[in-house]
Structure 1
């Protein structure tokens, strides 16, 4: 055991450094996302979801770096990642709208000009929806119409349609 540790001490130290950097970056990204959420008055739960997406991405990059530290051959990684991406690609092709809505949810977190409580009108070819934003989730936005009906509208469609602000903080009234 001591012989193994002495032979691979540099790899273990480099891995420890990468893990420390990972945790520091994760902490910094979490603080930045929470600060953006707080400055734009976005729910804490939404900020946590977006922070989780970034943490998972950062974790996968960290695993890749650790694999290189331990001398994993690039050709072996290409085979593994191409197999994984082929499987994920088939699964996401079957449910592409889920990935599209999650991506749209992240975009909405950073650039959507409206927040929970605002009354908006969504202009679609066939219909118009006038409702108050009740919740913005990973996949869809929850809208409450004046008659009390709950409408769930996909995030990706929200980015594709024209949206008009009717009233700010309509829930406060």
Structure 2
């Protein structure tokens, strides 16, 4: 055990530095996401979703850096990551719309001008939709029509269609979850 500690003391210090550095970056990013959410009045569930994305990114970066610190050669890393990404790419090729919706959800978190409770009209040439935004999830938006119908609309289409604000804060959220 003593030999291991002596032989790998610099690796242990670098590991500690990587972990502390990434924890600080994670803290900064989550604090920023929380501040943006609070300042823009974004629903807490959406802020938590962004924090999950940040955590996933930090774990991915930590894995990459720690493998490098502990002596995995760049060729070996590139082989592992290219193989993993090839499998993931082939697996996700059929479900590319899921990635598109997640990306759209992230974009909507930072720049979507409408909030839960706003009444909007989606100008779709086939069938225009009008209703109140009940929730905005990672993949889709819940829209309640005037007839009481609940429509789930994909996030990637929300960013592609023209949307107009009919009425700001059409209802007040009482904290109960109707879904």
TM range (shorter): over 0.9
In structure 1, the residue matched to 2:168 is 168
Matches within 5 A, 1:140-151: 140-151=140-151
What RMSD over aligned residues (CA atoms) do the two structures have, in Å?
Answer: 1.2
TM-score by length of 1: 0.97
Query: Which string of whole-angstrom CA distances, capped at 9 and with x for unpartnered residues, describes residues 9-54 of structure 1?
Result: 0100110111011111111111110110011111111101111112
In structure 2, the residue matched to 1:10 is 10
In structure 1, the residue matched to 2:101 is 101
CA distance, structure 1, for counterparts of residue 7 and residue 82 of structure 2: 32
Matches within 5 A, 1:130-149: 130-149=130-149
In structure 2, the residue matched to 1:118 is 118
Gaps of 5+ in 2: 173-179
Gaps of 5+ in 1: none
Matched length: 173
CA distance, structure 2, for counterparts of residue 128 and residue 136 of structure 1: 19
State whether structure 2 residue 90 is matched by structure 1 residue 90. Answer: yes
Query: Which string of whole-angstrom CA distances, capped at 9 and with x for unpartnered residues, describes residues 121-149 of structure 1?
Result: 00112010000000000000000001100
Greater fraction of residues in helix: 1
